[in-house]
Amino acid sequence: MKNIIYISICIFLLVACNNAEKPTDVGQSDSIAPKITIEEDRLKLLGIESCPVMMSEVNTTVNSPGKVVILSQYQSSVTPRINGTVEKIMVLEGQKIQKGQLLLTISSNEFIQLQETFLTTRSELEFIKADFDRQRKLREENVIGEKDFQLIKAKYQTLQARMRAAEANLRMLNMDMKKLADEGEISPYLEIYAPISGYLLTLPSTIGMSATATTELAHIISLDKLHADIFVYEKDIDQVLEEQEVDIEFVNQSIPKTKGRVEFIGRGIDPVKRTIVVHAVFLSPKGNVLPDMTLKATFKGARSMQLTIPSAAVIRDGNAEYVYVKQANNAFMRADITIKGGDDDTVFIEPTAQLKEGTNVVCKGSLLIDGAMKKDGMEE
């Protein structure tokens, strides 16, 4: 509150004493940019200072927003692959689990019938096999005709295929085939195990819930290898290369910064935002890093000579970015800028007719000049 009152008083003093230069009608369509003139003693009183625009050797940097993503090979959607009803749930949402850990059980008539098909077909196959072997010998001795032998052979092969299909389906459902074959004990419950190690992101299952073959019962993600989708503006994409190092900073300040590496650069441009997706892999920092978390990525390029100004000189108003240029006789005029990069202390900008090496810009007290200019414009 004290700062707001102080700034308001300073703006009042500036407006009260300034000699604003207004556009004059000279019979032309072009207008002169508005200026504000401030006496030297008041500049010193309010601590307003200017400094020259300089050519400096800087690191080319690109700052871009992004989000944490989990690649398809590092996540798994768990489905029963058969119709049934959820009977027991052994895990909790958010829990860390290991590959092969029992998640839940399902009761399923289809599962029971599949086991029954396997056992009965196997029994029939054992009987038919003995008959098939006997008739094959008789056929070799020309005791029986070819037609009779082909009939028993077709039945034998059909039973073989049926048993193999039932066995393949049961193995896909993680059935212990040795126990089923040796003991002949039919299990009423299908056990669902974790296909990968990781964290249980969602657990939409409830006891008594009906499930189809494609119902998602659980969703598991692995955080062993984290990735990021970074959205780089097309004007900056030339400064990003594959295998380039990238600094990752999270919006959640409790998560420490980390480093990553660009794996590949997308080949499509968002038609609205004019951004290109850059995919990067990064080291997992300490903390709860989750999918879709917002992050900021900084790409560091080669050193180059750039036109630089102090970050404190820049005024941001919505999408506009500008500074105040100091001219002769303590006159100040607004100049729009295009920022190419920078850090907390210095930014480098595109040169313009108003901004070039040696131009003086307000680097301390720029908000006071801006407030006075706007107030003067409102009074006009």
- Non-local (6+) Cβ contacts of 18 within 8 A are 36, 37, 38, 372, 376
Answer whether 248's CB lies under 8 Å from 228's CB. yes
Q: In the structure encoding, which two tokens stand for residue 265, read together?
A: 């650069």
User: Are both 181 and 227 inside the same structural domain?
Assistant: no
Candidates 259, 261, 264; CA nearest to 248 is 259
Last residue of some domain: 196, 220, 244?
Answer: 220
- Non-local (6+) Cβ contacts of 375 within 8 A are 11, 15
CATH of the domain at 370: 2.40.420.20
User: Are both 197 and 90 inside the same structural domain?
Assistant: yes
Q: In the structure encoding, which two tokens stand for residue 282, read together?
A: 């990064």
Which DSSP state fits 196?
Answer: S
Last residue of some domain: 191, 220, 249?
Answer: 220
User: Are both 197 and 330 inside the same structural domain?
Assistant: no
User: Rounded to two decimals, what is the model's pTM?
Assistant: 0.57
DSSP letter string, 90-124: ---TT-EE-TT-EEEEEE-HHHHHHHHHHHHHHHH
pLDDT in tens, the chain (380 residues): 444 444 444 444 455 445 444 443 433 334 445 778 888 888 888 888 889 988 887 777 788 999 999 888 888 999 999 999 999 999 999 899 999 999 999 999 999 999 999 898 888 888 888 888 887 878 777 777 777 778 888 888 889 899 899 889 898 888 888 888 888 888 889 999 999 999 998 899 999 999 998 999 999 998 877 899 999 998 888 888 899 999 999 988 888 999 999 999 999 999 999 999 999 998 888 877 888 899 999 988 767 788 888 888 899 888 888 999 998 888 899 999 888 777 778 888 888 888 888 899 998 888 888 888 877 655 55
Phi, psi of 130 (to 5 degrees): -65, -40
CATH of the domain at 91: 2.40.50.100
Dihedral angle over CA of 300, 303, 309, 311, nearest 10: 20
pLDDT at residue 106 in the model: 93
User: Are both 212 and 77 inside the same structural domain?
Assistant: yes
User: What region, left, alpha or beta, does residue 325 occupy, with left being phi > 0 and alpha being psi -120 to 50 degrees?
Assistant: beta
User: Are both 99 and 116 inside the same structural domain?
Assistant: yes
DSSP-H helix ranges across the chain: 2-17, 40-46, 109-140, 146-172, 177-183, 366-379
Strands 339-342 and 315-317, by their bridges, are unpaired
pLDDT at residue 24 in the model: 38
User: Are both 182 and 289 inside the same structural domain?
Assistant: no
User: Are both 210 and 94 inside the same structural domain?
Assistant: yes
User: Are both 146 and 228 inside the same structural domain?
Assistant: no
Last residue of some domain: 202, 220, 238?
Answer: 220
User: Are both 187 and 145 inside the same structural domain?
Assistant: yes
User: Are both 291 and 183 inside the same structural domain?
Assistant: no
Its domain, for residue 9, covers 2-60+304-379
pLDDT at residue 379 in the model: 53
**Which residue shows structure tokens 């871009």?**
64
Phi, psi of 22 (to 5 degrees): -100, 155
Strands 346-349 and 75-78, by their bridges, are unpaired
- Non-local (6+) Cβ contacts of 323 within 8 A are 309, 313, 314, 315, 334, 335, 337, 355, 361, 362, 366
CA triplet 151, 152, 155: central angle to 5 degrees?
90
User: Are both 244 and 350 inside the same structural domain?
Assistant: no
Q: How many other CB atoms are there within 10 angstroms of residue 157's CB atom? A: 12
Domains in the chain, number: 3
User: Are both 213 and 103 inside the same structural domain?
Assistant: yes
CA 328, 331, 337, 340 dihedral sign is: positive
pLDDT at residue 302 in the model: 64
pLDDT at residue 12 in the model: 46
Candidates 85, 81, 77, 90; CA nearest to 211 is 85
